[in-house]
Structure 1
């Protein structure tokens, strides 16, 4: 398909929800094949699955997207802060980039930056817009 549409695989990031990885053993083989093309793999909603850490150990991915349920309460909930720090450490061990979802204000943005998270998503950063209106 990359050739058919003249798309360079390195420009594509495939996102997969953590629970889909856990529920389907064949997914690992597909993700590995996509990665061999040069595409990147992002694990979305990380932290919500039943076996997050054990599955991450064997999975080859490039990006870890921390579920917004941890980010939403990071300012007031010590558990959320500790979980996010832990996710970041594991991602660092695996040479993965980290994305934090649900960044809704400047305070959350600041704490995530101090934790070393390189990519932020949420209404504070930018609201979703149709591709026709996006500034590229």
Structure 2
């Protein structure tokens, strides 16, 4: 059904859309152009996800640089309202897991060549997986 301006409208009653209701009356709900807030995740949110995604590579280039990038990325992640707490926890775990594993295996002295290769691959794959998850689950934020 269309109104005079060409927008779609839907008739509804207390028993659902299109139903005449108890006494045969119909209400009108406009379904015109949506008035959504602008999606503000393109800037800061994407930067946070990309910074977290490169933490593994940055850590391999220089451990101090990797630590700085990790702190910066986690700060941006936890200060943003674009993600739920569970998504933030998952991303934090994925990003912090590999450096923690290197420390634990390094202290125990039980790292052979296979373990090193697995940790090197995971050091790139886990932060990238966290970044992809963050970009896919970002919700619109209020822009000032």
Give the TM bin, normalised by the shorter chain.
under 0.3
- Structure 1-normalised TM-score? 0.25
The structure richer in strand per residue is 1
The structure richer in helix per residue is 2
- Structure 2-normalised TM-score? 0.24
Question: Which structure would you say has the larger Rg?
Answer: 2
Structure showing greater relative contact order (alpha-carbon pairs closer than 8 Å, 6 or more residues apart):
2
